[in-house]
Structure 1
Amino acid sequence: MTVVSISMPDELADRIDEFADEHGYTGRSEVVREAARNLLGEFEDKRLEDRDLMAVVTVLFDYETTNVEEKMMHLRHENEALVAANFHSHVGDHHCMELFILEGRLDDISTFVGKVRATKDTLTVDYSVTPVDEVGPFA
């Protein structure tokens, strides 16, 4: 097995160690391996491939980290064909929320979400994906 060295804040390493202890993992390596498998498999849902999809991506970040807002603006412009709508809102006294509505294929949505997640200083990134062809007429 290949040994991989990664950097992370002490607080995150401590949380991983606590999680491993509480859930019966042999150590942090096992937790990180499982998390990596889950992340890599996240967009491998065969039921969503080759279908028209809608996705909602929600990003929360600190108001003071303007680099996040700038990166979100660049992503929006770089993905004009994918981004159907984009909203920015202030949350509380110190946070901002960026909301993206995407329309496209699974691989494009996956790439977009990956770029958002890779943006330094985001606090949370959440998303949902819905096949458009499953949306029926309203009664």
Structure 2
Amino acid sequence: MQRITITLDDDLVAELDEIIRTRGYQNRSEAIRDLTRSGLKEAILDASGAEDCVAAVVYVFDHSARDLSKRLVGTFHDNHQLVLSTLHVHLDHDHCMEATVLKGKSAQVQAVANQIIAERGVRHGRLIMIPAELEAETHDHDGEGRHSHIRIK
């Protein structure tokens, strides 16, 4: 492990210390390592668009918006190779939240998430991408069925 020296302005240090306090980090070094790791992974995914990833796109929408549910399902079917699962939660009489898990190349995942979030009637949306290695080869465990793996980088 290497020791480095950085200079941060007072406001940024105050924000860092607040994150340390609220998230329970033991010290600044642990927090900076974690935040750096997260930022680097995000930069890698953004830079190339060709990196494999797993992702969750979370969005809140007005379930009564004209044909929105039909359009969302159409997007999922058109991109079935990327969509793993969707969780649907009723928030109130008018709004629902869904979390859709995706896997694939980061550019493709980003495009699907952008399409979902941009739909008329979707109120809030956020995409979280995590770099991964998607294994194409499948295998069997003692006759329990064939499956593939997703390895987190």
Q: TM-score range by the shorter chain?
A: 0.5 to 0.7
Q: Deviations over 1:59-79 (max 9, x none)?
A: 211132142211111011111
Distance 2:97 2:108 in 1: 22
Residue of structure 1 equivalent to 2:44 = 47
**Helix, strand or coil for the counterpart of 1:80?**
coil
Deviation (angstroms), 1:93? 2.6
Alignment TM-score, normalising by the size of structure 2: 0.54
% identical equivalent positions: 22
Structure-2 residue corresponding to 1:102: 102
Q: How many residues are treated as equivalent by the alignment? A: 92
Matches within 5 A, 1:115-134: 115-133=115-133
Q: Counterpart in 1 of 2:152?
A: 135
Give the structure with the larger strand fraction. 2
- Which stretches in structure 1 are left out of the alignment for 5+ residues? 1-44
Larger-Rg structure: 2
SS at match of 1:130: strand
Distance in 1 (alpha carbons) for counterparts of 2:57 and 2:83: 10
Asked if the contact 2:65–2:120 (Cα under 8 Å) also holds between the matched residues in 1, the reply is no
**Cα distance in 2, alignment partners of residues 77 and 111 from structure 1:** 15
Matched with 2:72 is 72
Using the alignment, how far apart are the partners of 2:114 and 2:65 within structure 1?
A: 19
1:114 and 2:114 equivalent?
yes
What is the identity, as a one-letter code, of the residue corresponding to 1:67? D
CA separation of 1:116/1:82 partners in 2, compared to 1, >3 Å: closer, same or farther?
same
When normalised by structure 1's length, the TM-score is 0.59
Consecutive unaligned residues in structure 2, runs of 5 or more:
1-41, 134-150
TM superposition shift of 1:46: 5.3
Root-mean-square deviation over aligned CA pairs: 1.9
